[in-house]
Structure 1
Amino acid sequence: MSPSRTLPSGRASTYHVPVLLHEIEELLVHASTVLDCTLGGGGHSAAFLERGMRVTGVDRDPRALAAARERLADYEKTGRFRALLGNYADLAEAGLADTETFDGILLDLGVSSHQFDDLARGFTFREGAPLDMRMGTDADVDAGELLNTIDEVDLSALLRAYADEPRAARLAREIIRRRERRPFATADDLVDAIRAVLGPRSGAPDFARIFQAVRIAVNDELAGLERALPALRERLTPGGVLAIISYHSGEDRLVKNAFRDWSATCTCPPKQMICTCRGEPLGETITRRPVNATEEEVDANSRARSARLRAWRLAR
């Protein structure tokens, strides 16, 4: 990262390095109240608070929430920061009043650096890591239980949809065959199954893609995002901005399509002669194309490589 874009003290964290921080700051520069739906280690929230904003942070991971509260304790004492335990897809259950709205809302999807690096959390394909991958206590099953109980048809569909895996059916059959001999328990079990199907030249990119697919299924991430998008739009103040960083093509597609539909004047079927929809856009898409991390940021934080940022503004 270039010297002009080095993170100020307090923004970088051993828990998580905030991605596309400067771009997010520019998008939310006029906000006075911000909802950080994926608080993580509090890197983005720290930047908002330094700018004088009031921040509500939400995270489904109790450990992430505790780390952020410790880091931002001074702001919490003054009342400018509060932290809520819960899933951004169910904000009412997290304790957020239905009537509460914000000038800016941020979603930074995916896994935090700390979650990924903590072997016990089971997000990594490193040797000996348990097959867990739960982001919070609200997940119904862990990755091991999912792989040991899901039927072949559903597993094949999962790998095809979430990992874009052309040999999804073969890999699903291999996983079923192997689990009949011994239940899947560690990352090694899944890596060995992948190698058996994709061949000895398969490596980290293949493992990462398939592990990510299992993680998405464990945490119901795409369904949660699809459910959350219209609910988050309703929590924007007039002129408020919704900014979303995604790391998976399925996530980005959902965000892109939602922003496109909300920005359209008419959403009626193309051949319908008379408009029966709302007849006006709900707001405007700010980012016509996704914003990617700079080479400098990727050099400093390799996990920013797949980040795609899109933003949308509610009409005034």
Structure 2
Amino acid sequence: MTLPYASGYHAPVMVRECMDLLQPERGGTFLDGTLGGGGHSEALLERGPSAILYGVDRDPDALAEAGTRLARFGERFRPVKANFADALETAGIADGTLDGVLLDLGISSHQVDVDARGFTFRPGAPLDMRMGQGTADEPTAADLLNEMDEAELANVFYRYGEERRSRKLARVVAEMRDAEPFETSDQLQRAIDRALGARTEIADRARIFQALRIAVNGEIEALERALERFRDALAPGGVFAVMSYHSLEDRLVKNAFRDWSLECVCPPGLPVCRCRGRALGTTLTRKPVSASDEEVAANPRARSARLRGWRAA
């Protein structure tokens, strides 16, 4: 299978499915809150010849790559350097003005493939993981490993990595950093070997590294802040599409879309409805949409993607 809109920078996931939800051919103003290499944005601007798109990313590499790729669309493409949770304020977008919002909560292939970015557990990679290539006052993954207390580290590994032996791993990290501060992926790999065993599966190692990345970038907190903001920014009939790769993210999105689609969210047993008393919109995906077998075979990183959509009333 040839992956549509793939580039050497990144292969976007479920492009057709995202466009089918957003329907950019309707025209209007859209926001891609996780621009990456610009693949989804290029598809949207091509499918919607009169659409305007705000492309948001905090990674300067992504903005540079997408800016070159999307230059042919002129002023229809409007780049915004920001965390997606702050995108509306940064771009000056008012409530009720967007016809569609897309969030692809994964990381780009470029971020994983460039060892210096520190997202990989290949040997010798720095423990960085900052999506925005942050300044000195923004903590890296190494900073968290070296400075968090054991309880905080265990919570990161358990909550974000779903690691049952999180306390043991946190204890080993604390013991190792007393002898030598964490700097590279090799050291975290050795901690995993000591705590969980040298035969620990690659998928389990990936979850632990992912947990650190989520903590470094405040990804869950950003999503929690952003969901209602983007909902309120939608015009009537506007669509909110979110693609997640982690169970916590997907649960937040599923619960939000479900609650917004209910007429009443009062506690059970309350004799009189005291909430808004109306549905704010409609969930478009009864179950999350997954990538096809053909796409997963061509791009294994699509395997864990879950896409959900919601339309404002």
State TM-score, norm by structure 1: 0.94
- Asked whether 1:28 is paired with 2:39, we answer no
The amino acid of 1:131's aligned partner reads L
Instruction: Between 13-22 and 98-107, report the one with greater CA deviation.
Output: 98-107
| Preserved CA contact (<8 Å) 2:82 2:90 | yes
CA distance in 1, matches of 2:231, 2:7: 29
Q: Which amino acid aligns with 1:80?
A: R
One-letter amino acid matched to 1:256: K
- Paired with 1:216 and 1:47, the residues of 2 have a C-alpha distance of 28
Structure 2: distance between partners of 1:106 and 1:95: 16
Contact 2:80-2:87 at 8 Å conserved across structures: no
1:13 matched residue in structure 2: 7
CA distance in 1, matches of 2:94, 2:22: 22
Give the count of matched residue pairs: 307
Whether contact under 8 Å (1:59, 1:86) holds in the other structure is yes
Q: Does the 8 Å CA contact 1:86/1:93 hold for their aligned counterparts? A: no
Shift of 1:100: 6.8
| Structure 1 segments of 4+ aligned residues over 6 angstroms from their partners | none
Q: Residues 99 and 235 of structure 2 are in contact (CA less than 8 Å); yes or no, is this contact kept in structure 1?
A: yes
Measured in 1, the distance between the counterparts of 2:269 and 2:26 equals 40
Whether the 8 Å CA contact 1:87–1:94 is kept in 2: the answer is no
**Structure 1: gaps spanning 5 or more residues:** none
Name the CA distance, whole Å, in 1 between partners of 2:26 and 2:248.
29
| Structure 1 CA distance for aligned equivalents of residues 201 and 310 of structure 2 | 37
Residue identity opposite 2:178 in structure 1: E
- Cα distance in 2 between the residues matched to 1:202 and 1:178: 19
| Aligned with 1:303 (options 301, 304, 313) | 301
Matches within 5 A, 1:189-268: 189-268=187-266
SS across alignment from 1:67: helix
Distance 2:89 2:123 in 1: 37
The 2-side partners of 1:15 and 1:96 are apart by 29
Q: Percent identity?
A: 56
CA contact (8 A) 1:31 1:240 kept: no
Q: Does 1:58 align with 2:52?
A: no
Q: Which of 49-58 and 80-89 deviates more?
A: 49-58
- Unpaired runs of 5+ residues, structure 2, are none
Task: Check whether the contact 1:39–1:59 (CA below 8 A) recurs between aligned residues.
Answer: yes
1:153 maps to amino acid: A
- 1:195 deviates by 1.1
1:107 aligned partner? 103
